[in-house]
């Protein structure tokens, strides 16, 4: 997944993700520390949900004593199926965590068919 985006200047890693479904919604939680709202891009292309976040590298003016953070941008892709409503996606970025809410299509919810008698 992330490999396709490599080859650009910086390394790309997958953000940590949690996915759950509740109340007719699919909720994604992606951890992207250091990514601000402006450096984040969430888009749907064909059947793919693409999440890309760029972040500033640690200011390296000086000598590194500890270097544990990954010097990389974030990217992750998901394939969406037909049950997801592409027009209704909510994205909230808070404290370096992206919350995406995908709504399921009304049509994919169980529907009762009324049978009429003549």
Partner 1 sequence: MDLIKWKPTELFDPIAEFDRIREEFDRMFGMEPVITGLFDRVKSPAIDLVENDDAFVLTCDLPGVDLKDLEVSIANNVLTIKGEKKDTREVKDAKVYRQESWFGSFQRTLSLPDAVDSDKIEAIMKDGVLKITLPKKEEVKPKQIAVKVS
Residue 91 makes contact with partner 1 by CB under 8 A: no
Residue 64 makes contact with partner 1 by CB under 8 A: yes
Residue 79 makes contact with partner 1 by CB under 8 A: no
Residue 103 makes contact with partner 1 by CB under 8 A: no
Torsion, Cα 67 73 79 84, to 10 degrees, reads: 100
Other Cβ atoms within 10 Å of 97 Cβ, number: 16
Residue 31 makes contact with partner 1 by CB under 8 A: yes
d(CA 90, CA 66): 37
Residue 102 makes contact with partner 1 by CB under 8 A: no
Q: Minimal distance in Å, beta carbon 114 to partner 1?
A: 29
* All residues at 6 or more sequence positions from 35 whose CB lies less than 8 Å from its CB, including other chains: 53, 54, 55, 74, 93, 96, 98
Residue 81 makes contact with partner 1 by CB under 8 A: no
Return the DSSP state at 42.
E
Residue 111 makes contact with partner 1 by CB under 8 A: no
By the criterion CB under 8 A, which residues form the site for partner 1? 1-3, 13-23, 27, 29, 31-36, 55, 58-70, 76, 93-97, 99
């Amino acid at each position: 997944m992330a490999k396709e985006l490599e080859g650009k200047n910086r390394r790309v890693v997958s953000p940590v993700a949690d996915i759950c479904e509740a109340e007719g919604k699919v909720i994604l939680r992606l951890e992207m520390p250091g990514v601000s709202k402006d450096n984040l891009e969430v888009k749907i292309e064909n059947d793919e949900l693409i999440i890309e976040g760029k972040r500033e590298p640690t200011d390296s003016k000086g000598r590194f004593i500890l270097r544990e953070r990954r010097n990389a941008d974030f990217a992750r892709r998901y394939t969406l199926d037909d049950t997801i409503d592409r027009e209704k996606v909510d994205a909230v970025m808070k404290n370096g965590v992206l919350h995406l809410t995908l709504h399921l299509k009304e049509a994919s919810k169980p529907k009762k068919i009324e049978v009429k008698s003549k």
